[in-house]
Amino acid sequence: MGLDQLTINELQEKLKNGEVSATQITQSVFSRIDAVEDKVHSYILLMKEEALAAAAQADKNIKKGDIKSLTGIPIALKDIVCTKGITTTCGSHILHNFIPPYNATVVEKLSQAGAIFVGKANMDEFAMGSSTETSYFGPTRNPWDLKRIPGGSSGGSATAVAADECIASIGSDTGGSIRQPAALCGVVGMKPTYGRVSRFGLIAFASSLDQIGPFTKDVQDCAIMMNVLAGYDPKESTSVNAEVPDYRQFIGRDIKGWKVGIPKEYFIEGIDAEVNAAAKKAIKVIEQSGGQCMDINLPHTQYCVAVYYIIAPAEASSNLARYDGVKYGFRSAEVRDLLEMYKTTRQQGFGAEVKRRIMIGTYALSAGYYDAYYKKASQVRALIKKDFEEAFKICDVILTPTTPTPAFKIGEKTNNPLQMYLSDIFTISANLAGIPGISVPCGFTKRGLPIGVQFLAGHFEEGKLIQVASAYEKNAKIEKRRPAL
């Protein structure tokens, strides 16, 4: 078994015991990238020179006995978090030459924990997409079937972990962009509570929904990553100053007597039969683990997609107004005056999906329509949040499928935006309510495509998610497979 296939926890033990060096681990990851990257396209930019220099420094630190929680661990960063002196594109032509003058808080935290950055992972343009097909730099392919999508918008972050092109990675989740690709690529992905992880240096899509979180190979690694990422940041106005527990303490605890809510609204007509069967099997595993599964209602679930596709584009249209060719990023050369520069820069710099969402959002916020759309959507959002608050009064966590189908073929839904939007139907609600969610592998289809199960908990209860996901992972005994790249 190559070093690139091991978990953070396993590699940390080997580093502490002197069995391997950080340089060997990093070289192993780059050898794997050399072997498979041209097939998968997980990365927009690789940072091999910087990574090997960081690994050499990590080895010096280890010799001095200075080993932190991520010392020597190669990690991929979604290309939506700012990296000082290194291009940050958001998967868009309009930022293809943007070099930030500062690091995102999560980059600083990972760096202080000893992480080694492998590169910037591919993504849907400005995180707008569910398939990583809207990237200016071309699509990422699912390592389990190269003709299929990896999910999105954090597709590159998910495939990098699934294909062993890094040990763990960072993504962002606005409507399911961590959990959905995690499910479709067979890895663990967590969206923390809104405000739990600093968004300083995250290039904004929809500011009331965006949240940064980890992709890992197992639940224990997720706990290790969350220990690094979580916490208050005075630089970020939505960061919440709440105590952060040691998430590793939740690993291996039983869930005997826990009440697990099963919302009937998530087991609907149209869900893929194999996904439905895998979710039902997951319910049985939870019951065998000591959990008491109970039917619950989340009555406003049917409005989630409609509410999301008013709120997210409205916030995006405001956030993306800053990309006009004046201060940074791409600027069209074919202009005669200022207004023409704005128009042609945005026309040439943004892709079709981003333009579509800017137009939807601008319309929803326009005079005479604000009350009918954005205000009404915000009111229904409050009802969706209340549904969860009521549910968590009677249950500890909620179990749902992560996605309605396994990974679909590249190009299958590009001409049908509504079908594409519906692929996030089970993940959007957590972003609207601001609650944490985790997707854990729960089996494979007959074609060998991964399926994920999602657990949701109340605000700032990531520990509960790690506890239930760890118990599920242990007792489900999902077959350990690797993509046959």
CATH code for position 201? 3.90.1300.10
Q: How many Cα atoms are found within 13 Å in the side-chain-facing hemisphere of 164?
A: 21
* pLDDT given for residue 205 in this prediction: 97
**Per-residue pLDDT at 269 exceeds 90:** no
114-120 average pLDDT score: 98
- Residue 223: partners with Cβ closer than 8 Å, 6 or more residues away: 247, 248, 250, 251, 466, 470
Instruction: State how many domains the chain has.
Output: 1
The residue behind tokens 């197992």 is 218
CA distances from 225 to 18, 44, 468 (A): 22, 23, 17
pLDDT in tens, 144-195: 999 999 999 999 999 999 999 999 999 999 999 999 999 999 999 999 999 9
The 10s digit of each residue's pLDDT in 194-207 is 999 999 999 999 99
Under a CB-based contact definition with an 8 Å cutoff, are residues 457 and 436 in contact? yes
Position 390 in a domain: no
Q: In the predicted model, is pLDDT for residue 6 greater than 90? A: yes
Separation of alpha carbons 144 and 407, rounded Å: 9
Q: What does the radius of gyration of the chain's CA atoms come to, in whole angstroms?
A: 21
Answer yes or no: is pLDDT of 3 > 90: yes
Close Cβ partners of 27 (under 8 Å, ≥ 6 residues apart): 52, 55
Residue 419 has pLDDT above 90, yes or no: no
- Residue 327 amino acid letter: K
Please report the pLDDT score of residue 334 as a whole number.
79
Q: Is 168 exposed, middle or buried (0-12, 13-18, 19+ CB in 10 A)?
A: buried
Q: How confident is the model at residue 95 (pLDDT cuts 50, 70, 90)?
A: very high
Distance CA 144, CA 428 (A): 25
357-360 contacts: CB < 8 A, separation 24 or more?
357/128, 357/312, 357/313, 357/316, 357/317, 358/313, 358/316, 358/317, 358/320, 359/317, 360/309, 360/310, 360/313, 360/314, 360/317
Please check the confidence at residue 441 and state whether its pLDDT lies above 90.
Answer: yes
Question: Edge-to-edge strands of the sheet including 450-456?
Answer: 43-46, 116-121, 74-78, 168-172, 212-216, 188-191, 437-444, 450-456, 397-401, 259-263, 292-296
Going by C-alpha positions, the residue among 268, 279, 270, 261 that lies closest to residue 301 is 268
Distance (Å) of CA 423 to CA 8, 128, 189, 196, 380: 31, 13, 17, 26, 21
C-alpha dist (Å) from residue 228 to 196, 206, 212, 213: 11, 24, 12, 11
* The pLDDT of residue 268 is above 90: no
Q: What is the token pair recorded at 133? A: 């097909």
pLDDT at residue 302 tops 90? yes
Please state, in angstroms and rounded to a whole number, the distance separating the CA atoms of residues 412 and 149: 9
Whether residue 59 lies inside any domain: the answer is yes
Interacting residues of 150 by C-beta distance below 8 A, sequence separation 6+: 131, 132, 140, 141, 142, 143, 156, 158, 159, 162, 181, 184, 185, 407
- pLDDT at position 57, please? 98
Which residues carry out catalysis? 78, 153, 177
Mean pLDDT value of segment 430-450: 98
Share the mean pLDDT of the chain.
96
Q: What is the pLDDT of residue 221?
A: 98
What's the rounded Cα separation, in Å, for the pair 348 and 346? 6
Give the list of residues 6+ apart from residue 351 with CB closer than 8 angstroms, or none: 92, 93, 125, 134, 136
Kindly state whether residue 131 falls inside one of the protein's structural domains. yes
Q: What is the mean pLDDT of residues 435-461?
A: 98
265 pLDDT above the threshold of 90? yes
Q: For residue 192, report the phi and psi dihedrals to the nearest 5 degrees.
A: -70, 170
Residue 421: pLDDT band (50, 70, 90) is confident
Is a pLDDT exceeding 90 seen at residue 246?
Answer: yes
Question: pLDDT category, 416, cuts 50, 70, 90?
Answer: confident
pLDDT digits (tens, 9 = 90+) for 334-361: 788 999 999 999 999 999 999 999 999 9
Question: Token match 């965006």: residue?
Answer: 210
Tell me which amino acid residue 359 is.
M
H/E stretch holding 108 reads helix 105-112
Integer Cα distance of 466 and 186 in angstroms: 17
Name 296's bridge partners: 263
Is the Cβ–Cβ distance between 337 and 325 less than 8 Å? no
The stretch 313-332 carries a mean pLDDT of 94
Residue 318: pLDDT above 90? Answer: yes
Q: Say what the pLDDT of residue 417 is.
A: 82
The Cα 306–Cα 335 span in angstroms is: 38
Parent domain of 203: 3-251
> pLDDT class for 78, splitting at 50, 70, 90?
very high
What lies within 8 Å, CB to CB, of 243 at 6+ separation is: none
End-to-end CA distance of the chain: 15
Supply φ then ψ for residue 213, to 5 degrees: -160, 175
Lowest mean pLDDT among 269-278, 331-340, 395-404: 331-340
Count of alpha carbons within 13 Å of 61, Cβ hemisphere only?
Answer: 20
